[in-house]
Structure formats: structure tokens, C-alpha cells
Structure 1
Amino acid sequence: MKSDAPLIDLATRLGALADARLAVTDDLVRGRWATPVVWRQPVHTVYVPAQLMTGDAHDPDIARTWGDAALAALEAYGDAAFLQSAATALAGDLGVPDQDAATVGALTIAKLETEPIEDLRIDFEDGFTQRGVPLSDRDADEDARAAEAADILRGWFSGVRGDTTTAPSFAGIRFKSFDPAVRDRGLRTLVIVLSGLAEGGVLKNLLETNPRALRLTLPKVQHHSQVETFVEILTMLEDRFAVPQIPFEVQVETPQAIVGVDGEAEPTRILAAGQGRILSLHYGTYDYSASLGVDAAEQSMEHPVADHAKDVLQVATAAVGVELSDGSTNRIPVGTGAEILAGWRLHHRLVTRHLRRAVRQGWDLHAHQLVTRHLATIAYFRASWATSAERLRDYVAGDATRWMDEPATAKAMAGYLLRAHACGAVTDAELATTGVTPDDLRILQVTGRLQDRRKES
């Protein structure tokens, strides 16, 4: 019988050649390109101008205030006499199947009662106004509001809150951009807020135990050098306050942040410039479309220029451990009953649209938008959770009689179910019908495999 030794030797030498040539690429395959978002990502960011939370409008319980306003708007919907009836009716009117409308409505109410806002940004940028404040007093006014914002955030993050407070799980500030005209003011606000958070060791403890909870948003980035500079600034602040590495978000609102001046894809350079600190890229609906000359009446989260930008951002962030968020709609559900319903219909459709495109987060600007943010999100995850649980259970058991799913699909199903549970769309008992534990679901989300573990056990 002819020996296979020469072929084995050849294969060994070919393998050694490939190992040598692909060492750098292999590091990326095993590391940077193998880091999906497997932690909890907020379903939205609520944007609250600083003047609506500080000063005379001081409201550290803003999440509860907004949640109550959302529940009141829902209760007033149509002719429904009870909150549950109103929620069921609205779910049906927005296209939720009849057999699911009551459940979706009930889960939406529960979400608004327990966690109406998942992520909140106190805004010192475009939303921040100082009407009535003399120009000579505006720096002092913003300084005072920044210090108060730090107090509010410190209370949320340290657990010092009243019995009625429903603090967001994620929170922070959006400060002014690195545009030369406003850069110094933005950095001054940032320093005041971080200094306030550092008091009592709150910032240090937060960064050590839950660094993703703090969200600092750098807006209107146009070039990766701005991100490089911000990393250097944060390093100096970390030394000053003796705290671990501070992460941040980047808001993409300019065409230069999509295609660089040299024609290259700028998002990948932005992420590289962040040196592992960037938590998320957020698309800015109105600044971006306006900068491309889109008329105000046509500006939208679903305009073709918006889809192109988000497609590029989605490719850049895929599997590198960076979240992606859609923008906002400025059509607010207020006014008559018909006007509120029209606003809810639009918002519901836009939220559902970006979820279907695998963009898991968006921005909300008004309390009434919380109704359709959570209703649309819960309805989306309720629609396929049972089938996903059944398919995953068969996959783990090795049953291919109905579905021939592969590891990549198993990853997607596990991630879907974990997100469904985190947003309140699926209960603990329903998640347990997968037949695997939450820890195993997280392993499946990363690897797509559990069979070897099951055989060993």
C-alpha cells in the first residue's frame, strides 16, 4: 500500500506557509473580527435638552415623569375606559395581529411602568438653548447646569435615589462638538460633569464595575483625527481623576464621516482611532441629510441617503464589538387624537423598519414616543420568539427533521431571544422554553455551538 507520508508532509509545509503569511490576519479573525455585540444594548436613547432637566426645571426623576406622561397618553387613546383596553386597541390599530394585541399591550404597559427610559442623554449640544440668558452670563449658566447634570448622574449611578425614581440603566451627556467655534465650551462642560461624577469615587467605581453604563456622546465627527485627539484628552482626564479608561460614543452627522476626503471609508478609521474605547456609532438624521442638501420636507430616517449611511456604518461595526444606533424622527405624537395616532403610526413604522434591518437602537425626543418605541419593539420580538425558541431547541438537540439550521443561524436566534428578554418582550418562563440556560444562550450567541458541551456532560 502506497505511503501517505509525502502528502502529509506537503500539507504540513503548506500549513506552515499559511500560518506565516496570515499571522496578522489570524489575529484579526480570532480577535477584532470576532467580537459581536453580546451584551445588553439599549433599545433607544432619549434625548433631553439640559434646560429641561436642570435649573428651574430640575427633574432627577425624568424617567418616571416621561413614563407617566406616556401612560397618560396611552390611557387617553380612543374611547378606551381602561389602560389595558387602550393598549390592546392601539396595538391592533398599529397592525399587531389580534391574537397578540392584548399581550403586546400588557407588556408595553409593564415596560412603561418599570423602565420607561433605558438610555438617557442630557443634551448640551443642539437641543440646549439659553433663551433669556444674556450672552455675558451664558458660560456661567452652562457651568451651573453641567454641575447639576453631574449631580443627577451621580445620584443615578450611585443608587442614591428616591423610592419613586426609575433611573435609566444607561446615561450620560452629549457635549458640544469639536468644531473650532464651540470646542472649548464643550470640553469645559465635559470636565465639569466628569469632575462631579468623580466625587465620592462614583466615576471610578462605575468604570470598574459597569463601564458601558456611562455614555459620553461626541457629536458631528468629521475626521478620525478628532477621535484621536479626544482619546488623548480622555487619557489626561483619567490621570487627573485617577480612574480607569473612559469609553465614549461617536455621533455620525456629516458626509465626511462616511466617505473621507481621500475616498476611503471613514467609519473604520474612526473606530481604529478610538483605540477600543468606542461603545457605539449613532446616526444623526437631520444634520446628515441636511448636509447633503435634502430638503426639510424630505428628511427622514428612511430617506435613501440615510439608508446608505447606515449601511456603511453597519458594515463597519459588524462583529467588532461596537453598537449601532439609528437616529430620530421629529414628528412628535401630540395634538388631537387623530394627530397623536398619526405620529404614533409613523414612529411605530420607523422603529419596526430599523429593527428589521438589524439596527437595534434609535433616538426618541418626546415622552409620547416611548409608547410606540416599546410597543413596536415588543411586537417585533413577540412575532417570532416562539418559533425561534423551537428552532433553537431542535438545533441544540441535533434534531434536523424540521429545520436544518447552521451555527450562524443559531447565533442569530440566540441573540434575538436574549434581546427579546432584555427589552421585556419575553418573560423568564418563556425564555426557559428554549431548553437552555441564559448562560448557554450567550455561548450560542458567540459560537453557534453547544453540542460538544452537551456530549461531555
Structure 2
Amino acid sequence: MPAVPDLPAIPPGFAAAYLAQQARFPGRGGWQPVHTVYVPADQFSADTVAEWRDAALSLVNAHLAGPDELAEVFGVPPALAARVHDRLLRKLGREPIEDVRIDFEDGYGVRPGPVEDGHVKQAAEAVAALHAAGTLPRRWGPRVKSFADGDPARSIRTLAGLVGGVVERTGELPAGFTVTFPKVLMEDYLTQFADVLCRLESGLGARLRFEMQVEAPQTLSFLRAELPGSLDGRLAAAHFGVFDYTAALGLPPHEQRLDHPACDHARHVMQTAFAGTGVELSDGSLAASPASGRAEDVHALWRRHAELVRHSLRHGFHQGWDMHPSHLVSRFATVYAFHLAGYDSYRERVAAWEERREAGGGVMDEPATVRTLAEALRRADDALP
């Protein structure tokens, strides 16, 4: 019988590799919003949150009178409809917007320098007023112009002006700040923008992070697990931009939709690149509002938006963009129905696994499935009011 070789207890280099693994793949962080509301900077004010709340509640009162109508419009099982309806009303009344982005990019357009500077000041005043009133969303910040536009100075000036203006008025940078960096066509732009944030945060007493937008096929080529580390951990999220992405592929206008297979591919690349890194993922938007105030038009908009939200959720994207107050209704109703549908059975299966007993129904859960069940419960607890 051959002699057993003398093996090291720990392979050479293991400790360094294990530390690198822990740093690169820390897992999911804390609470993540279910949506981001984008408001053009010239329209953003201290009244924005209240205006969106009132508009959404008005639509519910007019066109979603009770659980039965909610079940019919959104395809919610009747057994869940009352619970979803109650949570929807509570959410719209207490926290209609979880994450707001003051948009200085596509939704705002190109304005003369002094005009944009004026809107930066106006936005800083609005943020300060919302913060003082206790109504500033839990996440907030600007979307600045892309470096791909060829004018990084404008982007940096807007960012610095907003941050400085808010701090001047409040004495601090309120919690939840993040900045959206769009149209990242070159990887170098990410490094350059991260360096801008590093310089800007000096003296603020707050660490500045940003979310990149994936809006072009070229961007997919440099998405990888090492990217957040190369940016000093400043990359907080990656948001998918459906309209620029589908336009760049040459899809016809009527195919610019979140549930197009080309968009599924892009999102799956994003998932593969950032799985386990702690970088949050967000889907894009529906660029539509009700065609009129009639019930049939409002319901048609809600049904289409709900289809897209469900599509995102099924694909593991738990956040998306909302562009109109009507979207708040279909967003929250669909998210709540999605989580409530499996909540009790998921909880029972996790409990059965922990107690080493059968959950019933002939289900044989693998450890990976139990981890997925537990994660689904944590997301539900974060999302449900």
C-alpha cells in the first residue's frame, strides 16, 4: 500500500484567498427600496412627496374602491385582496415614496448653466424642507448628467452644488443619500466618478456612494464581481435603463419594453456579475400614464404596470423605477401580493427545516432552497408595511 503523503493542514495561499472571498462577496446588505421615483429637477419641490401621495390616493379612491376591485384589476387571489388593499392604503398615506431621485439628466434635459444652477439651489432648499418636516424619503439624491455627454464639469458642478447646498441648510448630509450615474459607456468613467465622490466627501462626515445605470450593450462587457472593490466599495447599485438599452440594440419603438427577451438577457448578466457582492439591482420603468381619468384607462395602465412589476419580481429584481403617481398604486399592490402569496408557507418550511421535520405537501427542501426561503421572508418583512 503506498504511503500517504504528508499534506499541509491548510493549503498555501488559502488564508489570502478566503479573505478576498469575504471582501468580494459580503452578501446582501440591509433594507432595499422597492422603487425609485424620478422627478425632473425643475419640478421637484418640498411638496413633491405630498403631491404624489394625494394623486395616488385620489386614483385609489376613484378607481379601486375596495378589495374586490383590487382583486379584479391586479389578479390578486380573493383571499389576499383585503390584506393587500389595507396595506396599500396604509403605505400611500404614510410613505408613498421610498426612494426619490432628483433628475438632472434625460427627464430634465440640457439647460443653460445658470438655469441648472438655479434648479440645483431650488432642489437643495426642497430637500432641506423635507428633512426638517421629517418627510424626506429614506433614500434620496440626484441623477446627474453622464460623462458620456462630454461635459463632466456640468455633472460635477450639479452634484457638488446640491450636496453643498443641502449641508449648508441642514448642517449635515441627511441619511440615505445616493447619486445616480447614467449612461456608463466606459469603465474609466466609473473610476473617475468614484474619485469625484472621494474628494467631495472630505469634511462631510459621510461616505458617498453611487448607483450606475446599465443602459447600453457596451456596459455589460465590464460588469464583474471585482468591479465594486476596484471602486473602493462606492458602487451601491446597478439600475437597468430599458429605453436607452433597447434603442442601442436597434429594437423598434413598440418593442422598447421591460419584458423583452433582450432586456431579460441584460438583467441576467447584471445578476451574474454582481451576485453576492452586495450591489443592489433595480429594474427600469414604464414610460406611460393613464390615457385619461376614466376607470378603463386607469385600470389598463395599472394592469400593464403590474405585469411588468411581476416580471421583474419573478426574475429576482425587487426594485424598479416609477415615473407617475399612478405607478405607486400598481407597484405597491403587486409587490404586496407577491410577498403575501407565499409568506405563510415559506415561514412554515423554514421552521420545519430548523426543527428537522417535514413541512408537508411532499416538499423536500435543499439547504439552498431554505436559504432562498429565508431571504424571501426578509425581503417581505422589509417591504410590507
What's the counterpart of residue 257 of structure 1?
219
The correspondence of residues 136-151 of structure 1 with structure 2, limited to 5 A, is 138-151=112-125
How far off its partner does 1:91 sit?
A: 2.8
The correspondence of residues 341-356 of structure 1 with structure 2, limited to 5 A, is 341-356=299-314
**SS of the counterpart of 1:363?**
strand
CA offset digits 1:332-369 (Å, max 9, x no partner) = 23413222211111100110111111111000100001
Number of aligned positions between the proteins: 381
Distance in 2 between the 1:363 and 1:32 partners?
27
How far off its partner does 1:374 sit?
A: 0.2
How far off its partner does 1:311 sit?
A: 0.5
**SS of the counterpart of 2:371?**
helix
* Residue segments in structure 1 that go unaligned for 5+ positions in a row: 54-58, 260-264, 426-457
Residues 290 and 401 of structure 1: CA distance in aligned 2, closer, same or farther (over 3 Å): closer
**SS of the counterpart of 2:178?**
strand
- Relative contact order (alpha carbons < 8 A, sep ≥ 6): 1 or 2 greater? 2
* Residue segments in structure 2 that go unaligned for 5+ positions in a row: none
CA offset digits 1:393-452 (Å, max 9, x no partner) = 112222246454343223222221122122226xxxxxxxxxxxxxxxxxxxxxxxxxxx
CA offset digits 1:244-283 (Å, max 9, x no partner) = 4311111111111112xxxxx4354643442211110000
**Percentage of identical aligned residues:** 35
Task: Please report the TM-score for the alignment, with normalisation by the length of structure 1.
Answer: 0.78
Match of 1:29 among 12, 15, 21: 21
CA offset digits 1:264-316 (Å, max 9, x no partner) = x4354643442211110000010111011111111011112111111100111
The correspondence of residues 73-152 of structure 1 with structure 2, limited to 5 A, is 73-77=59-63, 83=65, 85=66, 87-129=67-109, 138-152=112-126
Match of 1:417 among 370, 377, 380: 377
**SS of the counterpart of 1:324?**
strand
Distance in 1 between the 2:118 and 2:359 partners?
65
Q: Which amino acid aligns with 1:168?
A: P
**SS of the counterpart of 2:172?**
helix
CA offset digits 1:94-113 (Å, max 9, x no partner) = 21111211221111111111
How far off its partner does 1:24 sit?
A: 4.1
The answer as to 2:289 corresponding to 1:326 is no
Match of 2:161 among 186, 189, 192: 192
Higher alpha-carbon deviation: 374-383 or 221-230: 221-230
The answer as to 2:383 corresponding to 1:397 is no
Contact 2:148/2:185 (8 A) holds in 1? no
Residues 395 and 195 of structure 1: CA distance in aligned 2, closer, same or farther (over 3 Å): same
Distance in 2 between the 1:174 and 1:31 partners?
28
Distance in 1 between the 2:135 and 2:384 partners?
15
Distance in 2 between the 1:321 and 1:269 partners?
12
How far off its partner does 1:142 sit?
A: 1.0
How far off its partner does 1:384 sit?
A: 0.1
Distance in 1 between the 2:359 and 2:254 partners?
52
The answer as to 2:128 corresponding to 1:154 is yes
What's the counterpart of residue 222 of structure 1?
185
How far off its partner does 1:129 sit?
A: 4.3
The answer as to 2:39 corresponding to 1:48 is yes
How far off its partner does 1:242 sit?
A: 4.2
Distance in 1 between the 2:209 and 2:236 partners?
6
Contact 2:127/2:136 (8 A) holds in 1? no
CA offset digits 1:62-97 (Å, max 9, x no partner) = 2221111111111111xx7xx4x2x54123332111
Distance in 1 between the 2:228 and 2:291 partners?
38
Residues 269 and 391 of structure 1: CA distance in aligned 2, closer, same or farther (over 3 Å): closer
How far off its partner does 1:220 sit?
A: 0.4
